[in-house]
Amino acid sequence: MLDSNIHFSDVLVIGSGLAGQSSALAASKYSNHVTILSKVSVMRSHSVAAGGGINSVSGYEDSIDDHFVDTVQGSDYLADQNAVKILVKNAPFEISFLEELGVKFDKIGDKILPNKFGGAKFARTLNSSFKTGLSIMDSLFDSIKNSNISLFEGFHVIDLLVQNNTCFGIMALNMKNSQLTPFFSKTTILATGPYGYLFNNTTNSVICTGDGLAIAYRAGASLKDMEFVQFHPTSLIGSNILITERARAKGAYLLNNKGERFLKKYAPKSMELAPRDIISRAIIKEIELGLAFEDAEYGSYMELSFTHLPEDIILQSLKDIRDIGLHFTKTDIITEPLKVIPAQHYMMGGIDVDLNCNTDVNGLYAAGECACLSVHGANRLGGNSLMECLVFGRISGKSASIYSQSISNFDYDIANQLVLKQESKFKKTINSILNSSENLNISHILKEMKIIMTSHASISRNKKSLQHAKEQLSKLQILMNDIRINNSDTYSNIELCSYFELHNMLDLSEIIIESSLERKESRGSHFRLDYPIRNDKEWLNHILIKKTDSGFNLSTKSVDLSDLSLKTRNY
């Protein structure tokens, strides 16, 4: 059951998306032994799905200062301004780096052609055809393949190896043969991406189960701003396939059942290019007012209309969206609108890290969507997430490498003792779920959890709904003891990985609810019906949550307001 091979790295990166690859490439410049560990093949990482674009000042009338101001205002002033400055100042360098790797951004002549996304004063979202995430991933992966970085695919991380608040690596499950495999490392970087699969209506894929956050939390790291869950306003009704913000950037209208561009009531200046939190709440409000369309199978929706746009614009700039409409709904956007509804899309909260991507566990770092610096605050602007992965992926790789150089002797005795403890714990878990006297399956609890989160931790919340969710999730945690895996053959056991993923998602669901109950105001994506006003006097701070023997320990941390003073968001 335990792999006898010893895998050792100076820097171990968990996750093979944009943040993971950026981290590994940066680390490889300073360290000889760098490893990437991924539970899926690299080109199945969730970063591949990013089709909207990536933000960077690229000339014209735009400026670094404008990018900074838009990001802070878009965050509803909860972003740490010192972190945002690092993001926006490093963005142009990362674009140049990507072009050197071969990424081809959309241009007119030799000038990059940016789009204006929601919450932006100027056009700064760059695209690479219709597949920005895929294009960047392709180029980064080519660099990985031509480096000395070791790559292990098909390994599910079970837990971190931590003693005395110091990380010695991880324990992983080889998904091909169900062998427990320790990976020792002087430093470990978590770049495991999002955790939206705990919602029913999500644009995230089934692999987005929050493994990195959950194992960091169990190991003693703090999580931050977990109450902030972003809903993208335009996903296809029923399937929740994302219709990228690029659709509205090119001029698509959102319409209610009276044919009105209803956003004139909620964001009269920006209309369809208001930030995502504002548009999502506006859609929910229109539904409550009885101004939605109704689908016999899926219920309320709004229309996203392209029919007023010239056909050549659609065929040239929105071909991918037209293809999605034709393939999934048999709708041709040239002549018919799409049926859309908000869906969970992004998590602003994550593992608390400093500007060098350090967690509060020695030797443990985090970058990308699983981390929280915070550059997005209470609401992320579209196009900023890919850039965050690159900028802070690079920073985390360099930071981890420099730290690893300060460790002259790795303590294998402690590491091996931790492995034995993990093996014993794993055996007990396996024995429990293979020999349970009950016969509850994983899918039952997963379904209930997703219903609870979708119903009670969605765009609008209140104490009653959140408290109900807390009680129901607590019952599901108890039911985990009744799970039985019917496949006694542990060789290539998919159910086994699903069990650990469900355990992680339940923990994170409870944390989201706990943080949402704590924040008694409305800010960005966190809208409390019982506290509908932003309260800067009491709640202009981050909420940290840490695991203790008795449960959750909540505390606060001040927001960095070094440059920009508070204002009312006005779009």
CA distances from 210 to 15, 161, 190, 351, 379 (A): 11, 18, 11, 11, 19
Q: Is the pLDDT of residue 491 over 60?
A: no
CB of 140 closer than 8 Å to CB of 128? no
The neighbouring-strand residues paired with 219 are none
DSSP type of residue 394: H
Determine the 3-state secondary structure of 507 from DSSP. Answer: helix
Helix or strand or coil: residue 344?
A: strand
Range with the poorest average pLDDT among 460-464, 484-488, 514-518: 484-488
> What are the tens digits of pLDDT across the range 33-48?
999 999 999 999 999 9
13, amino acid identity: V
Confidence of residue 489 (pLDDT cuts 50, 70, 90): low
| pLDDT tens, residue by residue, 518-560 | 999 999 999 999 999 999 999 999 999 999 988 899 999 999 9
Q: What is the DSSP string of 261-284?
A: -GGGGT-TTTGGGS-HHHHHHHHH
How far is residue 449's CA from residue 510's CA, in Å, rounded to a whole number? 10
Closest to 255 measured CA to CA, from 313, 308, 331, 332: 308
Selected residue with higher pLDDT from 211 and 60: 211
Whether the predicted pLDDT of 423 surpasses 70: yes
d(CA 445, CA 434): 17
pLDDT at 59: 74
Average pLDDT over residues 334-359: 98
What does the pLDDT read at residue 77?
98
Distance (Å, whole) CA 277 – CA 505: 23
DSSP state letters, 282-314: HHHHHHHTT-SEEETTTEEEEEEE-TTS-HHHH
Whether pLDDT at 321 is above 60? yes
Q: Report the DSSP pairing between strands 166-174 and 253-255.
A: unpaired
Report the percent of the chain where pLDDT is more than 70.
99
122: nearest Cα among 178, 62, 35: 62
Q: How far apart are CA 253 and CA 11, in angstroms?
A: 47
Q: Which two tokens stand for residue 125?
A: 């979202």
Q: Which amino acid is at 512?
A: I
Integer distance in angstroms from the first to the last C-alpha of the chain?
Answer: 58
Question: What mean pLDDT comes out for the span 6-14?
Answer: 95
Question: Residue 99 has what pLDDT?
Answer: 96
pLDDT at 550: 84
- Looking at residue 75, its pLDDT comes to 98
Question: In the predicted model, is pLDDT for residue 86 greater than 90?
Answer: yes
Whole-number pLDDT of residue 176: 87
The mean predicted confidence, pLDDT, of the chain is 95
Amino acid at 143: S
The closest alpha carbon to 126, from 390, 302, 352, belongs to 390
Alpha-carbon distance of 508 to 57, in angstroms, equals 35
4 token code pair: 């006898």
| Residues labelled as active-site residues | 276
User: What pTM was computed for the model?
Assistant: 0.96
Phi, psi of 442 (to 5 degrees): -60, -40
Residues 232-255 pLDDT 10s: 999 999 999 999 999 999 999 999
Collapsed DSSP state (helix, strand, coil) of residue 153: strand
Q: d(Cα 22, Cα 34) in Å, to the nearest integer?
A: 12
